[in-house]
Amino acid sequence: MIEKVEFEGFNYIDGGVCAAQGFKANGIQCGLKHEGSVNTTKKNDLAVIIADKECTAAAVYTTNKVKGAPIQVTRENIADGKAWGVIVNSVNANTCNADGVEKAQKMCELVSEQFDLKPSDFIVASTGVIGQPLPIRPIKHGMHKLCQGVSYTGNTEAVNAIMTTDTMPKECAVEFELGGKKCVMGGMLKGSGMIHPNMATTLTFITTDAAISHEYLQRALSDVVKTTLNMVSVDGDTSTNDMVCVMANGMAENNMISMDNEDFAQFENALFIVMVNLARMMARDGEGATKLIQCVCAGADSVQTAQTVAKSVITSSLFKAAIFGEDANWGRILCAIGYADADFDINNVGVRIASKAGKITVCENGAGVEFSEEEAKKILMEEEITILVTLGDGEYNATAWGCDLTYDYVKINGDYRS
């Protein structure tokens, strides 16, 4: 299990999307399955999050030209910057179907009836197999049980309902202060494969009891996603259903955040902490993965250059395979740096490989240096591997996260629909 990143002034707590006051959740197994499936698992496949009061809402979505129907419906529903809750299913992505929008709207209608709200009060999301009609009957039959069972401790059932090929639930929550008021932010994420986000990544739901305007909530989310979830890659495939949503109910009673000030900066820090930990969990749980890879690129002439180089390294299939084999084949790292779409002098580049077992330099000034293969092997045997790249061109840096490429990745995706 990957350890959480520590930040001064922020305390990690349990509870995920239910950690902040005023949020309930639940998840059930309603019986969804795709055509031809022989899967008899009783894993949860339908989840709901509901707030005690109307929330300010913001979201970012996939840039894939093929978009799941739930994205279209959610865009319309939270165009006013408001939401009361989330309804989400796994197993079926409700994408590339003629009746997809109708089904997504129906999910909102069914859940709204249970809470005496409007269909437009809900964010709707789906994940799973693309291109198969979503069966609405199991969702309809399970909706009453789902909604009747919501609780302030229902985050575990909810996060289990959004997992597909995920092998572990991904949750994070922190306590922090805004103007002397204790606030909480928590979230849950699903993601294991088809991960190479642009604007968003997989399905991520974040809740907070802080008070913040829609404009500044959207601004914070759009900023933070660039340095967290958008810096993750498992396999280079950008999903059709990627969505990150944040709901803020204001129950912490802090002064409303509606301008650039210390409170807004602190809120962004909290959002970064939640999202960077979820990003790291997702990278470690990449399909078939055995290791988390973190690439830190420093000494760049711009943030964009640093981000481009860092992500180029963690997306290299050859490098990812070498990490799986615990082989210090540093040439593959330099190769990936070399084809990054950015301007820098390759003759200034240095590379070090690090983990809890130690740190070793493998490249200086664009050329290899002598190092102990035995020592390198010990470093690469750890679960979390860090690649430290220096460009020698400036003062900017960036971090990207990925995972190793294993035999199991092909096995999982070779028979995903069965």
Per-residue pLDDT of the chain (418 residues; tens, 9 = 90+): 677 888 988 999 999 999 999 999 999 999 997 555 554 557 999 999 999 999 999 999 987 888 889 999 999 999 999 999 999 999 999 999 999 999 999 999 999 999 999 999 999 999 988 899 999 999 999 999 999 999 999 999 999 999 988 889 999 999 999 999 999 999 999 987 666 766 555 799 999 999 999 999 999 999 999 999 999 988 776 777 789 999 999 999 999 999 999 999 999 999 999 999 999 998 888 788 899 999 999 999 999 999 999 999 999 999 999 999 999 999 999 999 999 999 999 999 999 999 999 999 999 999 999 999 999 999 999 999 999 999 999 999 999 999 999 888 888 777 755 4
DSSP 8-state assignment for residue 236: S
| 50 shares its domain with 74 | yes
- Looking at the structure, tell me whether residues 152 and 78 fall in a common domain: yes
In Å, how far from its chain's centre is CA 206? 10
20 lies in the same domain as 157: yes
Q: Given this model, what pLDDT does residue 41 score?
A: 59
Residue 374 amino acid letter? E
Closest CA to 60 of 74, 48, 46: 74
**Cα 11 to Cα 270: distance, rounded to the nearest angstrom:** 10
Instruction: Confirm if 203 and 125 have CB atoms less than 8 A apart.
Output: yes
Residues in the chain, how many? 418
**Same domain, residue pair 373 and 238:** no
Pairing of β 350-355 and β 358-364: antiparallel
Q: Tokens representing 366?
A: 């664009």
What is the structure's pLDDT at 321? 94
- List Cβ neighbours of 150 (8 Å cut-off, separation of 6 or more): 24, 25, 26, 48, 50
16's torsion region: left (phi>0), alpha (psi -120 to 50) or beta? left
What does DSSP say about strands 82-89 and 46-61: parallel, antiparallel, or unpaired? antiparallel
C-alpha count within 13 angstroms, C-beta hemisphere, residue 349:
28
Residue 42, amino acid? K
Dihedral (Cα; 47, 63, 226, 193), 10-degree rounding: 60
Residues 301 and 267 grouped into a single domain:
no
**Does residue 321 share a domain with residue 217?**
no
Domain contains 8: no
The reply to whether 1 falls in a domain is no
| Domain assignment of residue 18, yes or no | yes
Query: So what's the pLDDT on residue 64?
Result: 80
| 87, β-bridge pairs | 48, 124
Tokens of 331: 């040439």
Based on the domain organization, do 111 and 242 belong to the same domain?
yes
| Cβ partners under 8 Å of residue 387, min gap 6 | 293, 294, 295, 296, 313, 314, 333, 351, 352, 353, 354
Q: Does residue 2 lie within any of the structural domains?
A: no
Helix (H), strand (E) at residue 98: none
Q: Are residues 249 and 338 in the same domain?
A: no
What is the model's pTM? Answer: 0.91
Location of structure tokens 């084999």: 325
Write the burial class of residue 114 (CB in 10 Å: 0-12 exposed, 13-18 middle, 19+ buried).
middle
CATH assignment at residue 363 = 3.10.20.340
Regarding whether 228 and 296 lie in a shared domain, the answer is no
Same domain flag for 49 and 89 = yes
Q: So what's the pLDDT on residue 205? A: 98
In-domain check, residue 3: no
> Where is the domain boundary, 224, 256, 284?
284
Q: Distance between CA atoms of 408 and 402, rounded to whole angstroms?
A: 16
SS3 124: strand
Any idea which residues carry the catalytic annotation?
A: 201
Same domain, 253 and 393: no
The rounded radius of gyration (Å) of the Cα atoms in the chain is 22
Host domain of residue 268: 13-284
What domain count does the chain have? Answer: 2
Does an H or E element contain 312, and which? Answer: helix 303-314
Q: Tokens at residue 316, please?
A: 């290299």
The angle that helices 136-148 and 100-115 make with each other, rounded to 10 degrees, is: 20
Residue 297 placed within a domain: yes
Q: Within a domain: residue 4?
A: no
| End-of-domain residue from the set 267, 284, 301 | 284
Among the candidates 263, 284, 305, a domain finishes at 284
Q: Does 70 fall in a domain?
A: yes
Same-domain status, 153 and 193:
yes
CATH number at residue 187: 3.60.70.12
